[in-house]
Amino acid sequence: MIRLFSLVFLLFIQPLYAYENIELDLATGTSMNLTQFEGEGKTLLLWLPSERGFGQGYVPVSLNLAADDIDVWVAHLHETYIVPSGRLSLQEMEIDDLVALIDSAQQQGFEEVFLVSGSRGMQLAIKTAYRWQQKHPASDFIKGHISFTPHLVKGRTEIGQPAQFIESASYSNLPVYLLQPQHSTKYAHSWQIVRQLQKGGSATYVHFLQGVQGGFHMRPNEDLTELDIETREQLPGILEQAMNLLRVTPSGRLIEGFNPDQEDLVDSAMAQTRRLPALHAYQGDKNPPPLNLQDLAEQVFDLQSATGQVVLVNFWATWCGPCVEEIPSLSRLVERMKGKPFKVVAVNIGESTEDIKQFVKSIPVNFDILLDKNGQAVRDWKVYAYPSNYLLDKNGQIQFAYRGALRWDAEPIIDTIESLF
């Protein structure tokens, strides 16, 4: 079951309510660091961190929810376990402690709880909910998940390869409300995420936030656009809308046979491998997917027309910091290759022609920019991180690839490109 929603504009009023930082002693023996925002004591929104923590955006949002009699517990897991934030940090968190935290909420008299998470924090939320349901199979105390740009991919997806999703996502049976900002890496893959959650029986609502940056609810105001700030101010109302929907949406039947403790979310050997800044021989199908898109002048570019040239296909966005950082080196690369059969095409993900034209006024480019307005090329080329780059030889075959940003005029990169002439 999939339901779509447009952004609803709601009035934001900053209330004058206080909150309290506490250490809650759990039945497991752990003292959990929490920030508690007190509401009426019936409905609890339990907010779990992403792998990067929380930022400060949760404070005004939680204050407004408390003013509407919704309690919020913000679980500071990195501080509880004395673990630095980072991509692998949530591996250190104890699921049994989070289950005990939900038990404690129920014992304190709350009638329902909603789990809020973001990015890899959704992995933690799903595993926690599943374990709690195993202990309390007849209870509907947990009403569902609300998640910002959930990251449910297992380990690192190599460029051009299909993503492998975590097993626990296929066992999620609770209803889910996804908040998907347009300018985020997960936006183009929203339906893959939905399909994965539906395998376990989760009814899924998708709320697309057009023009909004990923992490808008966490970042400081100086890193946000006016629309990001406006959307964050509307979050209390959006979250209440999500809770109202989840409350009346039935859960699927819990599928047994999964042990959250046995799921390895990352390939530890891969995580510890230092990737050198060099192009890597491409391991996938060397025949590229179609690429037929308009450029900024509304002219259609077809990749097949570039046969006989070495082509670098770069997937990027203006909101992606590493993408922006590598653009000058791409321009220098084009200049370096002048007179040779070489071409750069930069595929922009989902941004408007006007925004990109404004962007290139401040950072001029000397290569073609193509517009992947609906994310189809991103899905066809199996792009899960930005920037992602494919280097094609003169026969149109993919020979090298790189996931991430590079200094494209570095001599080792130049040598690799020139090997294809």
Q: Are residues 226 and 117 in the same domain?
A: yes
Split at pLDDT 50, 70, 90, the class of 154 is confident
- Percent of the chain past pLDDT 90, that is, above it, reads 64
Verify that 220 and 342 share a domain, yes or no: no
Domain with 202 in it: what CATH number? 3.40.50.1820
One domain for residues 299 and 385: yes
Residue 337 sits in the same domain as residue 245: no
Among 91-100, 156-165, 241-250, 301-310, whose mean pLDDT is lowest? 156-165
Same-domain pairing of 340 and 397: yes
pLDDT in tens, 22-47: 999 999 988 999 999 999 999 999 99
Q: Based on the fold, state whether residues 131 and 254 are members of the same structural domain.
A: yes
Tell whether 281 and 358 lie within a shared domain: yes
Q: How many domains does the chain have?
A: 2
- Measuring CA to CA, which residue among 142, 110, 108, 106 is closest to residue 42? 110
pLDDT score, position 284: 87
Given 229, 248, 271, the domain boundary residue is 271
Task: Say yes or no: 308 and 394 in one domain.
Answer: yes
Instruction: Supply the pLDDT for residue 7.
Output: 47
The token pair that represents 328 in the structure block: 């000058």
pLDDT over 70 (residue 172): yes
Q: Is the pTM of this model over 0.85?
A: no
pLDDT tens sequence across 51-76: 988 887 889 899 999 999 999 999 99
Looking at residues 308-329, what average pLDDT do you find?
92
Domain boundary among 255, 271, 287: 271
pLDDT of 6 over the 70 cut: no
Supply the range of the domain harboring residue 348: 277-418
Lowest mean pLDDT among 106-110, 127-131, 184-188: 184-188
Tell which of 271, 295, 323 closes a domain.
Answer: 271
The answer to which of 33-47, 172-186, 263-277, 286-300 has the lowest mean pLDDT is 263-277
Do residues 235 and 325 share a domain? Answer: no
Instruction: Note whether 113 and 187 are same-domain residues.
Output: yes
Would you state the structure tokens that stand for residue 304, as one six-digit string?
């097949």
| CATH number of the domain that residue 323 is part of | 3.40.30.10
Note whether 233 and 306 are same-domain residues.
Answer: no
Say if residue 243 is in the same domain as residue 334. Answer: no
